[in-house]
């Protein structure tokens, strides 16, 4: 046994001896015992758990539930809570935090640990009254005017994952953490891990439980986004075994959309996610039960939230008895078009009474750089500001004068005054309102998309994802692309490649490659911030011919790109 193996065994024993969780302590003890016999697999397991720590990424901490600093567990969460408390105490004399949690395994335990450790450190801690959606926690940060928020969730990750998202109040306006705060918090967490044992960290049960008024006000403000529908659509709703239903049901009722048909097998929180292998509405098969329910009920559309209800998926009839899930970009540009129309109408209303119309059209649209260029075209035609951002709502939410923002991974921010993060429930109400207006006029989403292509051009998008077994494979793939960049993708020449590794324009250094092609198409390659994947985003557009011809041409271009990029990732 080498020195590195001895070191990892020592680290594992130190971790085990401070672990307050019987399950992970017993799990780790068994691996240690096996490793001490010389088991190569047990030693490899320990190195996987102890050679690295989970760090704040695109969506905070997120990982598999198991023992060790490279997994999610009570020791890691205690260190994170104590480190965050130290960060907050260094920023202000009387900091405060609100804590939320979803229905995953250990979410309530991690949230309670956080509340006790925050209170023990001298931070005013408020915990939400029960498991609730991430958007409610993001709302509570601003509504309660606290210094920070913590949401215990792994969103749409596999069942055995959990995570820890951090928001900041004050001048951060309830957005997720960004540099340099993330590095400062990380440094405090590491300091705690290196100098304190978890049993020695001060705890207190002197924390508060938020009242129902927090949820009531979120529901009121969300329902008030839209007018009562003249022709409410019938729709199916699924919570994907998550926590969205209680809140969404109230919002749907109060906004005039009534009670949807639910997918009964998926409507209540269930940490095992028994009907889906991967609880992400984007994944193949995840909406199969919703499709079946919708076909049996004869509804107009399907609305799905992911397990923590910060994302929205929509499906509509495909014209042949089945269902078509709209892509995140399709939903994004339709909601963006609606936001632009709303800003324009506000300006026209002010102008009609002699006011300054420009002051009411002062709003920006924003999307992550991997999202469709369609939103930029909407902003251009409506004379609105537009911003591309790095991936993640921690960036989108910070765009000045933001009126609407989205990212193609089913995330939409439709009401920045209320929540500075993606919100699948608010977005659902907005989309239902679009469908209701179309239904009152005898039209459908398909008709609306044709109108969009006729006005703005047709945009098509695709995505290729490569899941890796070892995280080290990701930098190898990216390095290979940098060392041997493509000159053509299929028959189309590459005209330029933007490498964000050293920063690009106003963007900070990022592991992103953006490939421009001669026909105006675009390919973006980047590692996922939440999963062990390399993701490739494909975009093409067309303004030639009829709306139908434009849509077909754009999709043909994306299909060709899909075939061309796959060999590059092997």
Question: Which residues are known to be catalytic?
Answer: 155
Q: Where would I find the H helices in 299-373?
A: 328-352
- The CA distance from 91 to 95, in Å, is 8
- The CA distance from 456 to 375, in Å, is 10
Q: Which strand (E) or helix (H) includes residue 413? A: strand 411-413
Q: Using the structure block, give the residue that is written with the tokens 């930029």.
A: 376
Encoding tokens for residue 16?
């085990």
Closest CA to 142 of 176, 109, 118: 176
**3-class secondary structure, 445:** helix
Torsion sign across C-alpha atoms 47, 50, 52, 57: positive
- The CA distance from 528 to 465, in Å, is 9
Contact 519, 557 (CB under 8 A): yes
Contact 340, 378 (CB under 8 A): yes
Query: Which residue(s) pair with 469 in the sheet?
Result: none
- The CA distance from 423 to 410, in Å, is 10
Query: Which residue(s) pair with 542 in the sheet?
Result: 458
Query: Please, what is the Cα angle at 160 between 158 and 162, to 5 degrees?
Result: 85
Encoding tokens for residue 569?
């990732």
Torsion sign across C-alpha atoms 56, 523, 500, 405: negative
Q: Using the structure block, give the residue that is written with the tokens 């190898």.
A: 476
**3-class secondary structure, 401:** coil
* Residue 269 neighbours by CB under 8 Å, 6+ apart: 102, 103, 131, 239, 241, 242, 243, 307
């Amino acid at each position: 046994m080498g020195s590195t193996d001895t070191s990892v065994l020592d680290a594992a024993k130190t971790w085990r001896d401070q672990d307050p969780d019987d399950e992970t302590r017993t799990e780790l003890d068994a691996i240690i015992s096996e490793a001490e016999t010389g088991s190569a697999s047990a030693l490899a397991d320990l190195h996987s758990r102890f050679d690295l720590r989970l760090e704040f990424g695109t969506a905070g901490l997120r990982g598999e539930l198991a023992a060790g600093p490279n997994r999610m567990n009570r020791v890691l969460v205690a260190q994170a809570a104590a480190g965050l408390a130290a960060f907050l105490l260094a920023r202000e004399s009387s900091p405060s935090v609100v804590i939320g949690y979803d229905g995953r395994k250990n979410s309530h335990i991690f949230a309670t640990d956080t509340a006790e450790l925050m209170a023990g450190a001298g931070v005013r801690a408020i915990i939400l009254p029960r498991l609730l959606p991430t958007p409610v926690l993001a709302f509570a940060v601003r509504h309660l005017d606290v210094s920070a928020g913590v949401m215990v969730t792994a969103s749409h990750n596999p069942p055995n994952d959990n995570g820890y998202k951090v928001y900041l109040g004050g001048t951060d306006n309830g957005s997720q953490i960004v540099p340099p705060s993330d590095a400062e918090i990380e440094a405090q967490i590491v300091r705690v891990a290196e100098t304190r044992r978890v049993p020695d960290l001060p705890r207190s049960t002197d924390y508060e439980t938020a009242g129902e008024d927090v949820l009531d006000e979120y529901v009121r403000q969300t329902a008030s986004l839209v007018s009562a529908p003249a022709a409410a659509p019938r729709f199916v709703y699924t919570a994907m075994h998550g926590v969205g239903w209680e809140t969404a049901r109230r919002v749907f009722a109060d906004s005039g959309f009534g009670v949807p048909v639910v997918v009964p097998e998926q409507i209540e929180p269930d940490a095992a996610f028994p009907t889906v292998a991967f609880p992400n509405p984007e994944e193949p098969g995840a909406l199969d039960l919703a499709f079946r329910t919708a076909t049996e009920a004869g509804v107009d559309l399907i609305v799905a939230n992911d397990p923590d209800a910060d994302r929205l998926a929509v499906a509509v009839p495909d014209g042949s008895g089945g269902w078509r899930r709209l892509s995140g970009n399709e939903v994004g540009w339709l909601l963006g078009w609606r936001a632009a129309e709303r800003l324009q109408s506000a300006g026209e209303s002010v102008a009609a009474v002699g006011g300054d119309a420009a002051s009411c059209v002062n709003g920006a649209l924003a999307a992550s750089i991997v999202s469709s260029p369609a939103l930029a075209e909407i902003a251009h035609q409506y004379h609105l500001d537009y911003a591309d951002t790095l991936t993640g709502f921690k960036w989108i939410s910070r765009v000045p004068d933001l009126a609407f923002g989205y990212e193609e991974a089913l995330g939409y921010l439709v009401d920045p005054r209320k929540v500075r993060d993606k919100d699948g429930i608010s977005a659902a109400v907005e989309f239902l309102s679009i469908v209701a207006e179309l239904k009152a006029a005898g039209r459908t989403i398909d008709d609306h998309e044709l109108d969009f292509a006729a006005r703005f051009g047709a945009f098509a998008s695709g995505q290729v994802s490569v899941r890796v077994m070892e995280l080290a494979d990701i930098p190898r793939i990216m390095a290979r692309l940098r060392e041997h960049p493509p000159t053509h993708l299929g028959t189309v020449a590459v005209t330029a490649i933007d490498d964000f590794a050293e920063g690009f324009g106003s963007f900070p250094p990022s592991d992103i490659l953006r490939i421009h092609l001669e026909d105006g198409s675009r390919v973006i390659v980047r590692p996922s911030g939440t999963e062990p994947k390399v993701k490739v985003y494909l975009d093409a557009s067309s303004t030639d011919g009829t709306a139908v011809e434009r849509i077909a041409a754009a999709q043909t271009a994306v299909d060709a790109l899909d075939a061309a990029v796959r060999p590059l990732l092997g």
